[in-house]
């Protein structure tokens, strides 16, 4: 478990990783984008939790002109200046949003989610959200409008708190890479199955994992099917659990 916590982003939503007790207490919101008549649209969201940049994914996005919403932590921003510059050089493709300052789950009671210790108090959740926004401000990026917490699970009370801060909370409808733990084939299959209105979650911070190859394969399959990619700010997001209304 320590190795998992140290090396994996652990937004992993795999059912086998969560304890039944936590599953009952916490909320894992979904998010879809509003469908448009006559076209299939999907939103690609990529988490940059810690570690480095998967240039396989970043290069494929630039070369194929695929827009994406990137959720970045303060930790990741400190060590990936070159990738940030590439993203900032392509504002038509990349929208950078808030993934927290230290990649701490936005849960206001002490517990572990996927091996990661939660913020544990309302004050600590507030610090995680605000420090993530502050880290983005240093890069010169526009103020973030969306927040996604580490593990993508929340206390119902923290959802209300984050919304009061002015952020929409980014759930998803397709877990593309299982926290970057899936193989290339399964990752590609999941992403390629996306349909109009889906919001995909995957990771761009694990360059040594096979899942990154699958992310690229899945995205190119969707492009070949004629689906259009949009960023979250370019579409009406409809989330449950009060995350967007």
Q: What is the pLDDT of residues 131-141, one digit of tens each?
A: 999 999 999 99
Give the lowest-confidence range in 99-103, 138-142, 156-160, 167-171.
Answer: 138-142
User: Is pLDDT above 60 for 24?
Assistant: no
Beta strands in 162-220 (DSSP E): 168-169, 174-175, 199-203
Q: Which string of b and e fits 82-114 if b means at least 16 CB within 10 Å?
A: ebbebbeeeeebbbbbbbbbbbbbbbbeebebb
Residue 216 phi/psi, 5° resolution? -60, -45
* pLDDT exceeds cutoff 50 at 1: no
Q: What is the pTM of this model?
A: 0.89
Q: What is the pLDDT of residues 55-99, one digit of tens each?
A: 999 999 999 999 999 999 999 999 999 999 999 999 999 999 999
**Contact yes or no for 171/147 (Cβ under 8 A):** no
pLDDT of residue 13 exceeding 60: no
Band of the pLDDT at 36, cuts 50, 70, 90? Answer: confident
* Region of poorest pLDDT, from 20-29, 72-81, 233-242: 20-29
> Is residue 2's pLDDT more than 60?
no
């Amino acid at each position: 478990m320590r190795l998992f916590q140290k090396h994996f982003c652990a937004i992993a939503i795999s059912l086998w990783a969560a304890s039944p007790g936590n599953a009952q207490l916490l909320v894992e919101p979904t998010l879809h984008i509003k469908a448009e008549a006559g076209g299939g649209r999907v939103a690609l969201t990529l988490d940059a939790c810690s570690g480095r940049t998967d240039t396989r994914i970043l290069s494929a996005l630039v070369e194929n002109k695929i827009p994406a919403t990137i959720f970045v932590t303060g930790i990741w921003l400190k060590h990936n200046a070159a990738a940030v510059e590439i993203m900032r050089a392509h504002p038509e493709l990349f929208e950078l949003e808030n993934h927290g300052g230290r990649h701490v789950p936005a849960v206001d009671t002490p517990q572990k989610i996927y091996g990661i210790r939660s913020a544990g108090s309302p004050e600590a959740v507030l610090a995680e959200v605000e420090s993530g926004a502050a880290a983005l401000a240093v890069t010169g990026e526009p103020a973030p409008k969306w927040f996604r917490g580490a593990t993508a699970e929340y206390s119902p009370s923290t959802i209300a708190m984050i919304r009061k801060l002015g952020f929409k909370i980014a759930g998803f409808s397709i877990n593309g890479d299982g926290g970057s733990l899936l193989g290339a084939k399964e990752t590609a299959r999941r992403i390629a199955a996306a349909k109009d209105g889906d919001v995909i979650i995957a990771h761009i911070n694990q360059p040594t994992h096979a899942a990154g190859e699958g992310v690229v394969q899945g995205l190119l399959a969707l492009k070949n099917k004629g689906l259009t990619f949009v960023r979250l700010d370019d579409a009406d997001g409809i989330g449950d659990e009060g995350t967007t209304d």
